[in-house]
């Protein structure tokens, strides 16, 4: 972490905005600010800590402090200290984010941000990565979360924001790091990060991972546990590194052989805890077994070329092909019966699916800085093309002496298919019209041409075009302070990631207005931000692919206030914390077309004014570490989430109060000894051994418990 000379005027946010004398709906975008002279403190660790000082989430590389929009970055250092191994675990550090459970085939990574879906808003190095699979962090440098409607930068999407994973790239150095971990619930993991400089401008980097883990939950009829069994390898080759022409070739392959867990049912409005014939059903009861499976293979190859015309002008092109294969058989829980060893269909039920999703994407960005008409401009223009081909169907059921079973990738019936060509072009200009004041204006045009079919519906054609806009106004009274207001919108057409409606209904759209302030303290080592926002979403689609109701709500809104701090307080003390307060409300209920009669049906009017599913009134997270006695570090933190509803907002007969997942606070701790070449770290997750539910099924059927107390010992060696 570098030190910077700067002072922070502690001007209140509201006063700062009033002092600017403006009132407009504007949208945030990247703003490059000339940094002050850098002074290096030799006593400060130069490895990345908890504050990220660069990101490409705004299309160009810049400091998140300079982006007039709320941005959270989970760094590699933070993930390492917390023993984070999956994207889901990394995102526990993002305030205002909650987890969904197995939404009708979406049992891969599935989150809500600010109360809105993100299943169409996951990216890898700025390119769309919307397949339904479970992502690992072994090849991630950091995870950037850009909040708010971001269609101008990223295209069609939801209202909550964008989750962008940043890959580890080849570097001009020779360093190898291997780590091995053992822990409770049969946790074992091996990772390796191998860097090799080949020439003055060429390098190779290889990352590998193997991980296995179980849970405290157990099927009482066969003693089987849920399992995570995952492997991965990532290769990055770079040529021309540090020159005017840089080329990177990246390839990543991950495999999963999991035993999936769909959690437990609700009973009397709470996660089940009741006596039934044969015993008791509570959070420890697992309804699946070792015959179940969630198998997937993900392959992605990416070419990245950057040509630097000058220090201020460059062209960046990325080409990717991805293939995502997945097949799973999961058992759903039951509120009246314990699981059975013979795997008879009911109880409990079976969820099966096999899918194949293929993408080819080309992305081009050109950005430059120049002076015109006495004003400074930061200009961006780009174009994208994305081809999607996907198919899915149910698995074929077999029977033998021990009951029913399914085989991976052995399907039955007709396929549901989705084929689409996506075209986009965008332009944006950030203008410093007077010193310290920047105005950002941007527009994007997306065109979608798609064919969609399923076994019960004719083939639909979808031709869709939409503009997206960004506008933002920033005031930088110093290098350490940034005040902004912004406005943005987003859209998603009816055929994209969802089932189509019987009759055409308006596309899903959203609008976000935000104002905020960002400060840097202690020479830039500690970042603090606050954001006040309103996001309104119209014609919200259901996340559940199996649902007969496509529209979940016609209008709903989240008003929120966020605080976040990240970085070093002293040379030895680091902290990362966030608080999100959310006031979410359904404004208008659903309107759906009955598939049989064609008649429009409406949700129970009682849903209006209610808080949406899985949107707590608050989330809070804090993690801090302190270095002492030279090489020792101690750390710990809390992840707290408020009470969440679980119900189907599109129902025609609302039962209130609905099912509720109780709020919780999970405490984690860490103790580490770190030498120059080797380190030993002990992580204890859920120190208080608390029963908690970290994921819920939005339509109200069940909730998935988080793991109980788990100690993990990790050794790390550098050579």
CB 517 within 8 A of CB 13: yes
Confidence (pLDDT) at 400: 86
Residue 284 sits in which domain range? 3-718
Provide the token pair at 473: 């106004």
The band of 259, judged by pLDDT with boundaries at 50, 70 and 90, is very high
User: What is the spatial order of strands in the sheet that 270-271 belongs to?
Assistant: 116-117, 111-113, 97-100, 693-696, 702-705, 264-267, 270-271
Choose between 533 and 150: higher pLDDT: 533
Confidence (pLDDT) at 178: 98
The band of 120, judged by pLDDT with boundaries at 50, 70 and 90, is confident
Classify residue 508 as exposed, middle or buried by CB count within 10 Å of its CB (0-12, 13-18, 19+): buried
Confidence (pLDDT) at 495: 66
Helix (H, G, I), strand (E, B) or coil at 416: strand
Q: What is the pLDDT of residues 393-452, one digit of tens each?
A: 999 999 888 788 999 999 999 898 989 999 999 999 999 999 999 999 999 999 999 988
Q: How far is CA 484 from CA 23, 75, 474, in A?
A: 11, 25, 4
Classify residue 478 as exposed, middle or buried by CB count within 10 Å of its CB (0-12, 13-18, 19+): middle
The Cα 522–Cα 520 span in angstroms is 7
The Cα 697–Cα 684 span in angstroms is 28
Q: How far is CA 27 from CA 96, 160, 412, 511, in A?
A: 20, 15, 48, 10
Return mean pLDDT, the chain.
89
The band of 498, judged by pLDDT with boundaries at 50, 70 and 90, is low
Taken as a whole, the chain contains a residue count of 719
pLDDT winner (highest mean) among 24-33, 34-43, 47-56, 623-632: 623-632
Q: What is the pLDDT of residues 458-484, one digit of tens each?
A: 677 888 899 999 999 999 999 999 999
Q: Residue 457 pLDDT more than 70? A: no
Confidence (pLDDT) at 677: 96
Choose between 693 and 4: higher pLDDT: 693
Provide the token pair at 589: 């209920």
The Cα 692–Cα 635 span in angstroms is 22
**What total of structural domains would you count in the chain?**
1
Mean pLDDT of 536-558: 84
Confidence (pLDDT) at 715: 98
Q: What is the pLDDT of residues 269-307, one digit of tens each?
A: 999 999 999 899 999 999 999 999 999 999 999 999 999
pLDDT winner (highest mean) among 203-217, 442-456, 488-502, 504-518: 203-217
Confidence (pLDDT) at 458: 65
Confidence (pLDDT) at 370: 95
Confidence (pLDDT) at 248: 98
Confidence (pLDDT) at 404: 86
User: What percentage of residues in the chain have a pLDDT greater than 90?
Assistant: 73
Residue with tokens 């390898």: 233
Confidence (pLDDT) at 688: 98
Mean pLDDT of 236-251: 98
Q: What is the pLDDT of residues 325-342, one digit of tens each?
A: 999 999 989 999 999 877
Helix (H, G, I), strand (E, B) or coil at 428: strand
Confidence (pLDDT) at 175: 97
- Provide CB contacts within 8 A for 241, sequence distance 6+: 170, 171, 172, 201, 202, 203
**DSSP string for residues in 78-96:** HHHHTT--BHHHHGGGSTT
Q: Residue 13 pLDDT more than 60? A: no
CATH number at residue 68: 2.40.170.20
CB 153 within 8 A of CB 193: no
- Provide CB contacts within 8 A for 426, sequence distance 6+: 152, 153, 380, 381, 382, 383, 442, 443, 444, 445, 468
What is the value of pTM for the model shown? 0.90
The band of 60, judged by pLDDT with boundaries at 50, 70 and 90, is confident
């Amino acid at each position: 972490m570098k030190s910077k000379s700067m002072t922070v005027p502690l001007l209140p946010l509201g006063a700062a905005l009033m002092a600017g004398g403006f009132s407009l709906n504007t949208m945030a975008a990247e703003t490059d600010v000339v940094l002050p002279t850098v002074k290096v403190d030799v006593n400060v660790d130069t490895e990345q800590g908890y504050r990220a000082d660069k990101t490409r989430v705004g299309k160009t590389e810049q400091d998140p402090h300079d982006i007039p929009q709320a941005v959270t970055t989970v760094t590699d250092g933070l993930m390492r200290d917390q023993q984070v191994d999956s994207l889901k675990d990394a995102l526990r550090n993002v305030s205002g984010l909650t987890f969904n459970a197995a939404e009708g085939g979406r049992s891969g990574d599935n989150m809500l941000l600010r109360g809105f879906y993100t299943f169409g808003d996951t990216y890898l190095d700025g390119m769309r990565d919307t397949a339904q699979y479970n992502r690992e962090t072994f090849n991630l440098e950091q995870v950037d979360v850009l909040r708010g409607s971001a269609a101008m930068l990223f295209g069609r999407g939801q209202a909550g924001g964008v989750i962008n994973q940043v890959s580890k790239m080849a570097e001009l150095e020779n360093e190898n790091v291997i780590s091995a971990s053992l822990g409770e619930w049969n946790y074992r993991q091996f990772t390796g990060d191998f860097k090799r400089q080949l020439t003055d401008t060429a390098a190779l980097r290889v990352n590998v991972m193997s991980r296995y883990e179980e849970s405290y939950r157990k099927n009482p009829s066969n003693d089987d546990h849920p399992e995570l069994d995952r492997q991965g390898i990532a290769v990055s080759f770079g040529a021309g590194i540090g020159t005017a022409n840089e080329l990177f070739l990246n390839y990543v392959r991950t495999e999963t052989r999991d035993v999936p867990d769909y959690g437990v049912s609700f009973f009397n409005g709470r996660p089940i805890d009741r006596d039934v014939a044969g015993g008791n059903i509570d959070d420890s009861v697992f309804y699946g077994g070792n015959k179940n499976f969630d198998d997937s293979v993900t392959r992605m190859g990416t070419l990245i070329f950057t040509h630097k015309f000058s220090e201020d002008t460059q062209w960046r092109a990325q080409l990717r092909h991805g293939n995502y294969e997945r097949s799973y058989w999961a058992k759903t829980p039951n509120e009246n019966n314990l699981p059975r060893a013979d795997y008879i269909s009911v109880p409990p039920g079976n969820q099966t699916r096999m899918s194949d999703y293929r993408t080819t994407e080309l992305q081009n960005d050109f950005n430059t800085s120049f002076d015109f008409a006495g004003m400074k401009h930061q200009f961006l223009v780009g174009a994208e093309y994305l081809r999607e081909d996907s198919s899915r169907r149910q698995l074929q059921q077999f029977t033998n002496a021990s009951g029913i079973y399914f085989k991976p990738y052995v399907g039955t019936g007709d396929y549901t298919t989705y084929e689409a060509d996506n075209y986009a072009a965008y332009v944006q200009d950030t203008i410093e019209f007077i010193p310290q004041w920047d105005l950002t204006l941007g527009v994007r045009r997306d065109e979608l041409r798609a064919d969609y079919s399923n076994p019960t519906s004719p083939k639909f054609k979808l031709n869709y075009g939409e503009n997206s806009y960004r506008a933002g106004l920033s005031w930088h009274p110093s290098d350490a302070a940034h005040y902004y207001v912004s406005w943005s919108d987003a859209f998603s057409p009816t055929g994209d990631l969802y089932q189509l409606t019987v009759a055409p209904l308006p596309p899903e759209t959203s609008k976000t207005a935000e104002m905020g302030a960002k400060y840097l303290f202690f020479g830039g080592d500690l970042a603090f931000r606050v954001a006040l926002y309103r996001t309104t979403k119209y014609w919200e689609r259901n996340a559940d692919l199996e649902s007969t109701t496509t529209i979940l709500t016609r209008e709903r809104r989240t008003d929120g206030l966020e605080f976040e701090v990240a970085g070093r307080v002293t040379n030895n003390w680091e902290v990362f914390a966030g608080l999100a307060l959310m006031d979410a409300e359904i404004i208008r209920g659903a309107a759906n077309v009955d598939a049989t009669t064609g008649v429009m049906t409406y949700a129970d009017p009682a849903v209006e004014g209610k808080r949406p599913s899985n949107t707590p009134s608050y989330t809070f997270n804090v993690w801090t570490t302190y270095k002492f006695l030279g090489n020792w570090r101690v750390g710990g933190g809390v992840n707290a989430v408020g009470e969440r509803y679980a119900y189907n907002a599109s129902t025609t007969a609302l039962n209130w109060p609905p099912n509720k997942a109780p709020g919780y606070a999970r405490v984690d701790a860490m103790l580490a000894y770190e030498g120059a070449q080797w380190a030993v770290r002990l992580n204890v997750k859920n120190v208080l051994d608390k029963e908690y539910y970290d994921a819920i099924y939005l339509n109200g059927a069940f909730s998935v418990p988080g793991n109980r107390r788990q100690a993990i010992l990790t050794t790390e060696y550098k050579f």
